[in-house]
Structure 1
Amino acid sequence: MHYKDLRSYLAALDEIGDLAHITREVDGDLEPGAITRRSCELDAPAPLFENIRGATPGFRVLGAPAARSSRKDMPYARVALSLGLPPAASVPEIVDALIATRDIPGKKPVLVDATNAPCRQNILMGDDANLDKFPIPFAHDTDGGRYANTWGMLIAKSPDGKWTNWSIARVMKVDGKRMAGLIVPSQHIGQIWAEWVKLGQPMPYVLVQGMAPAIACVAGIPIPAGVDEADYVGALWNEPIEVVKALTNDLELPANSEVVIEGHVSLTRDCPEGPYGEYSGYLGTHSSLQPTFHVEAISYRDDPIWPLVVAGRPTDESHTIWAMGMAADATALLRAAGLPVTCTWAPEESAVHWFVVVVPNDWRDVLPDTSTEEFARRVGEILFKADSLVFLPKIYLVDDDIDPTKLSDVVWAIATRVHPSRRQVVFSDARVVSLAHCYEDDEYESGKGPKIVFDTLQPAIGKGRLRHASFDQAYPEDVRKRVLANWPTTTKSPI
């Protein structure tokens, strides 16, 4: 089942017990951020703040919309439900669904009459279009401002109209009429903004809050340049997204959105943005000049819901949906290059600083006369050059006896299969970005530094590979069957 708006998705979370209704009054500054952050760190239900001090009655904030679930039997339920999958779907199943959607013809969105569109229930124009009306909290106490966008979607179109990009990028509220948005040149929105700058024309934009969960997820993952996210979601849903025209420009936006902000972006980086707590798990300490997003119109649903992601120590949306999107892109790139890959994953606890590439036992049949070092080098050459994976500093190439979503497996592999000095393929002059937290100042300044692939591949089965001292491998099949047949189903204890 696909949820076409945020509210039906919240009803589904309620049904599985993964939504916490916070009805007591909370302050409008830091308390929603603090509760959301603690919810992420404890894998607690997603908090829905329904009584925010100073906010218009009925205005709400949703925390942790796609973080790890509170249900231990379905840890990725929020992402799975967002994408229309069963709530118990595993990481490989979710990643495979994202990859498979790439091969389905996209479905263009369909324009509907805006008269009855939920996002047009309330309209503010001119001076009335003011962000001060909305309960935008601080995410962290050292942030440069209230972040108006942490899980909303920016819509921008290339000047020739051939490419419309829907993406998530952080945007800081400056005052009621201005925001400063982080525009990274290598990202798609940065490429489109650069085209408008070349023409000397301000880029029109729409910033949407509270769209259908699949739209938010797809906006937050890498898909190929030139592909419209709206078409990709249409393929995922097997039906087009219903959209309406913006009030002030020719962009189109999801009709069921909670809040819609419209305006134009400055031609220069003219406004300080940041600092902000980031996915690496540390509070930011620096600001930078970024383009100004001027606000010209706002529309919203009755009793609107504003989503809030509080990035930080794992686990939050950076370590779930963003990592899944990166895994889908990495897997697709490696397979397109003819490399046998079972799956890829960035263990949440690594804050997307480790990437595990799992290969099947028969990889030597697919790549005859290829050493493990050569295999590792090819993986690094492909992944470290990809724009979508520029954040990755470390890759572990492992056999498929390792489950990359199980941290105990990954730690065991790193501890027992990574040689202290050998079998490491180093790319000494790779591209480095400031958001990855493991480099030195000179490397950030130059934008260059080392990246590494750890070759942990074991000998082929039957040719020197050690068996595990585990239940699965250290006992005959008849003994294991007898143990399992007599093991109580209601307890972990054999007694």
Structure 2
Amino acid sequence: MTKLPYPDLPAHIEALRDEGLLIEVDREINKDTEMHPLVRWQYRGGIPEPDRKAWLFTNIIDSKGRKYDMPVLVCGLAGNPEIYQIGMGCRLDEMGKKWADAFSNPLPPEIVTSDDASCHELVFEGDALLNGNGLDALPIPISTPGFDNGPYTSSSHFITSDPETGVQNVGNYRGQIKAPDRLGMNTSTELRTGGYINWLAWKERGEPMPCAVVVGCPPIVSYASVQKVPEGVDELEVAGALVGAPLRLVKAKTLDLLVPAEAEVVIEGYVATDLLEPEAPFGESHGHVNITEYNGYMDVTAVTRKKNAVLTSWVSQVAPSESSVIRRFAYEARQMSYLRDSLGITGIKQVKAHEPLTSLSRVIALAFEKGTPKTEIWRALYGLASFRQAEGKWLVAVDEDIDATNSDALFWAMAYRCRPQHDVHVLKHKDQGHGPRSLIEPEDAAVLIDATLKEPFPPISLPKKEFMENAAEIWKELGLPTLRPESPWYGYSLGEWSEELDEMADRAVKSEYWETGKIYAQRRRGDVAMNTEVRTVETDIEEET
């Protein structure tokens, strides 16, 4: 067996098992009614993010009692950020640079023969697809029982190509299981996906579009498939750059396309370009059910797979989910790279997409270092609002002391550091984007908010860091529940804090506050109103003298 320069899916599963991040379920589970609801509870049941796991189901049936011999891995690519780190092979704080380097230096693949490709260990074509070896042999679960109209592939990487240049594109789209030899395809046109652009090009030629759908593969392929790479760049070459080695690809059995040699399952076929057919309802990643639309469909020409294949299925729908964790780090890295490297924005420290319920594309925070010019802040806000067709509905600029991942902190900054009459702009004529579509108003808008400090503020009213740290030690000594600090967890100056005030505070913690009382008694006056700030009176006196 060829030694791989990067982990395939079985190696990744073993790594999760070793790290205690894998729940293995060998009891009977119904893929159509039980599998996704069970895993969904780790996102909707108050389970802290670090405690969420990957799930491997090995005893699968459907509602008719049919048994499947193929395991299903759910949340195995990004059930939590730690799982994502293992799959990416680096820490979260290293990912921005890793993605940026991969965008700049895509790595051409290594083409291998079919005999050296484990994805071709079993090949089913023609009549075999209708005799129990087609899509009906795959234990694709129903994601949203009670609303979805059937099983959908959710971790399905659609490989297509530009008919003129031959450059391939890989995008992750849902695929409705319609027949043993027919698969739906929804390329989310509002996101301007590569699969849709290629479909339009094949339609212009009057030819069906060749397409290979990968379900289960080396993790790095999955991570690259959801990334919004520049148009004309092959995600598989970006995946190679991410692992620092050419990705091993093999020519599909019935198509002129290259697929990952270590894919678990590959569905080959042609997507019609002259006809569309109804597809959905399906619970989508924007947190609502996508109502029935006319979308593409693929006539399957072959299903190839490993002998001991493991199918993957992503929990998507309402965020947070596996889908949103996968997209979050990739999107933020791409947005940061665009602002810093393409637009040359100075002072930008990080971009953070809000995940819970809003699903990353609607609410985005941009954090800036102290002293960043106002012009750069607004250039970044407008730049990100126009980066992609439907990205950014509420964009908030904050100072770097604000935890941009904490929605409470964002509201805090908006409440005190933003003057709406000056610091809020509305950008009209935006696309509605990925979400429920209005039949009343076809357009949307973006709200750009500068919630950075415009002048010095008093300190944050929490004890200074050293006192909170000392108290944490006492807390631990008392055997109290484990602390999980939330920013801000200690006080710090925002510029409006004098040396004299600091001396008073220092005397206070030394229990010498009586001295301050004596000083204040000497400063009594009768020519000011109640609540007059001392700094304003002293400024007036200084100006008069």
Which TM bucket (shorter chain)?
Answer: 0.7 to 0.9
Q: What is aligned with 1:191?
A: 197
**Aligned AA for 1:117?**
A
SS of residue matched to 1:320 = helix
| 1:77-92 pair list within 5 angstroms | 77-85=82-90, 89-90=91-92, 92=93
**Aligned AA for 2:365?**
V
Q: What is aligned with 1:395?
A: 395
Deviation at 1:294, TM superposition (A): 0.8
Alpha-carbon deviations, 1:132-179, whole Å to 9, x = none?
A: 111112111244433442112111111124411011011111111111
CA–CA distance in 1 between the matches of 2:139 and 2:308? Answer: 12
Over 3 Å counting, the alpha-carbon distance change for 1:426 and 1:494 in structure 2 is: closer
Deviation at 1:466, TM superposition (A): 3.0
**Aligned AA for 1:283?**
V
SS of residue matched to 2:199 = helix
Q: What is aligned with 1:94?
A: 95
SS of residue matched to 2:283 = coil
Q: What is aligned with 1:109?
A: 109
**Aligned AA for 2:447?**
I
Contact 2:68 2:138 in 1 (8 A): no
Q: What is aligned with 1:356?
A: 365
Q: In the alignment, which of 442, 448, 451 is matched to residue 453 of structure 1?
A: 448
Contact 2:32 2:145 in 1 (8 A): no
CA–CA distance in 1 between the matches of 2:215 and 2:325? Answer: 20
Task: Confirm whether residue 50 of structure 1 aligns to residue 53 of structure 2.
Answer: no
Deviation at 1:47, TM superposition (A): 1.4
| 1:321-470 pair list within 5 angstroms | 321-335=326-340, 336-340=342-346, 341-349=348-356, 350-352=358-360, 353-364=362-373, 371=374, 374-387=375-388, 390-419=390-419, 423-433=423-433, 435-436=434-435, 440-443=438-441, 446=442, 448-459=443-454, 463-470=455-462
Deviation at 1:28, TM superposition (A): 3.0
Moved more, 393-402 or 33-42: 33-42
Q: What is aligned with 1:72?
A: none
Q: What is aligned with 1:160?
A: 164
Over 3 Å counting, the alpha-carbon distance change for 1:412 and 1:125 in structure 2 is: same
Deviation at 1:226, TM superposition (A): 0.8
CA–CA distance in 2 between the matches of 1:454 and 1:269? Answer: 44
Alpha-carbon deviations, 1:164-198, whole Å to 9, x = none?
A: 10110111111111111112342111111111111
Q: What is aligned with 1:297?
A: 302
**Aligned AA for 1:359?**
F
Over 3 Å counting, the alpha-carbon distance change for 1:2 and 1:214 in structure 2 is: farther
Over 3 Å counting, the alpha-carbon distance change for 1:252 and 1:362 in structure 2 is: same
CA–CA distance in 2 between the matches of 1:65 and 1:331? Answer: 26
Q: What is aligned with 1:211?
A: 217
SS of residue matched to 2:289 = coil
CA–CA distance in 2 between the matches of 1:49 and 1:484? Answer: 42
CA–CA distance in 2 between the matches of 1:379 and 1:289? Answer: 37
- The unaligned stretches of length 5 or more in structure 1 are 70-75, 365-370
Q: What is aligned with 1:179?
A: 183
Contact 1:145 1:174 in 2 (8 A): no
Q: In the alignment, which of 236, 239, 245 is matched to residue 242 of structure 2?
A: 236
CA–CA distance in 1 between the matches of 2:431 and 2:204? Answer: 26
Over 3 Å counting, the alpha-carbon distance change for 1:14 and 1:208 in structure 2 is: same
Deviation at 1:9, TM superposition (A): 0.8
CA–CA distance in 1 between the matches of 2:482 and 2:199? Answer: 62
Deviation at 1:66, TM superposition (A): 3.2
Alpha-carbon deviations, 1:315-368, whole Å to 9, x = none?
A: 11332121222212211221121212111011221322211111111323xxxx
- The unaligned stretches of length 5 or more in structure 2 are 484-545
CA–CA distance in 2 between the matches of 1:190 and 1:440? Answer: 22
Q: What is aligned with 1:368?
A: none
Moved more, 224-233 or 397-406: 397-406
**Aligned AA for 2:114?**
A
Over 3 Å counting, the alpha-carbon distance change for 1:384 and 1:142 in structure 2 is: farther
Deviation at 1:266, TM superposition (A): 0.1
Deviation at 1:15, TM superposition (A): 1.5
CA–CA distance in 2 between the matches of 1:298 and 1:164? Answer: 20
Q: What is aligned with 1:38?
A: 41
Over 3 Å counting, the alpha-carbon distance change for 1:272 and 1:483 in structure 2 is: same
Contact 2:316 2:324 in 1 (8 A): no
Contact 1:106 1:231 in 2 (8 A): yes
Identical aligned residues as a percent: 23
CA–CA distance in 2 between the matches of 1:449 and 1:406? Answer: 25
Over 3 Å counting, the alpha-carbon distance change for 1:254 and 1:490 in structure 2 is: farther
Alpha-carbon deviations, 1:27-70, whole Å to 9, x = none?
A: 1312112122223333431211100025555311111233442x
CA–CA distance in 1 between the matches of 2:482 and 2:138? Answer: 55
Task: Confirm whether residue 262 of structure 1 aligns to residue 268 of structure 2.
Answer: yes
SS of residue matched to 1:279 = coil
Q: What is aligned with 1:65?
A: 76
| 1:298-317 pair list within 5 angstroms | 298-317=303-322
CA–CA distance in 2 between the matches of 1:257 and 1:290? Answer: 26
Q: What is aligned with 2:529?
A: none
CA–CA distance in 2 between the matches of 1:440 and 1:95? Answer: 35
Contact 1:117 1:256 in 2 (8 A): yes
SS of residue matched to 2:278 = strand
**Aligned AA for 1:427?**
L
Moved more, 325-334 or 376-385: 376-385
Over 3 Å counting, the alpha-carbon distance change for 1:192 and 1:213 in structure 2 is: same
Q: Which has the larger radius of gyration?
A: 2
Over 3 Å counting, the alpha-carbon distance change for 1:55 and 1:10 in structure 2 is: farther
CA–CA distance in 1 between the matches of 2:208 and 2:386? Answer: 31
Over 3 Å counting, the alpha-carbon distance change for 1:432 and 1:422 in structure 2 is: same
Over 3 Å counting, the alpha-carbon distance change for 1:203 and 1:440 in structure 2 is: closer
**Aligned AA for 2:364?**
F
CA–CA distance in 2 between the matches of 1:116 and 1:281? Answer: 41
Contact 2:58 2:70 in 1 (8 A): yes
Q: What is aligned with 1:281?
A: 287
**Aligned AA for 2:382?**
E
Moved more, 119-128 or 409-418: 409-418
TM-score, normalising length from structure 2? 0.79
Contact 1:35 1:47 in 2 (8 A): no
**Aligned AA for 2:251?**
K
Deviation at 1:2, TM superposition (A): 7.3
CA–CA distance in 2 between the matches of 1:494 and 1:411? Answer: 27
Over 3 Å counting, the alpha-carbon distance change for 1:67 and 1:301 in structure 2 is: same
CA–CA distance in 1 between the matches of 2:472 and 2:143? Answer: 48
Over 3 Å counting, the alpha-carbon distance change for 1:146 and 1:8 in structure 2 is: farther
SS of residue matched to 1:230 = helix
SS of residue matched to 1:198 = helix
Contact 2:148 2:283 in 1 (8 A): no
CA–CA distance in 2 between the matches of 1:158 and 1:118? Answer: 27
CA–CA distance in 2 between the matches of 1:489 and 1:81? Answer: 34
Deviation at 1:485, TM superposition (A): 7.4
How many residues are aligned here?
Answer: 462
